[in-house]
């Protein structure tokens, strides 16, 4: 068995462990919004708060 094939078997097993009963993959919450502490979604080069919209983009320096 090649190393690449063995690596894909391991990632498939890890992904299966991260799935809940419905079969969806759970993702950890994103960075907290500095204004309201709600988890922000990462979209391309931006962090988007569900309450405030885009809070950071890749040109910003942040923690």
Question: For 4-41, how does the pLDDT look when each residue is reduced to its tens digit (9 = 90+)?
Answer: 554 444 444 444 444 456 666 566 778 899 999 999 99
pLDDT for 17 equals 47
β-bridge partners, 40: none
d(CA 17, CA 37): 29
- Has this prediction a pTM greater than 0.85? no
Taking the domains of the chain in order of start, what are their residue ranges?
3-57
**In angstroms, rounded to a whole number, what is the distance separating the alpha carbons of residues 50 and 33?**
9
């Amino acid at each position: 068995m090649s190393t690449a094939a063995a690596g894909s078997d391991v990632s498939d097993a890890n992904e299966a462990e991260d799935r809940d009963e419905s079969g969806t993959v759970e993702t950890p919450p994103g960075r907290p919004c500095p204004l309201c502490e709600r988890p922000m979604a990462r979209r391309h080069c931006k962090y988007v708060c569900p309450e405030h919209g885009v809070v950071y983009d890749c040109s910003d320096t942040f923690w």
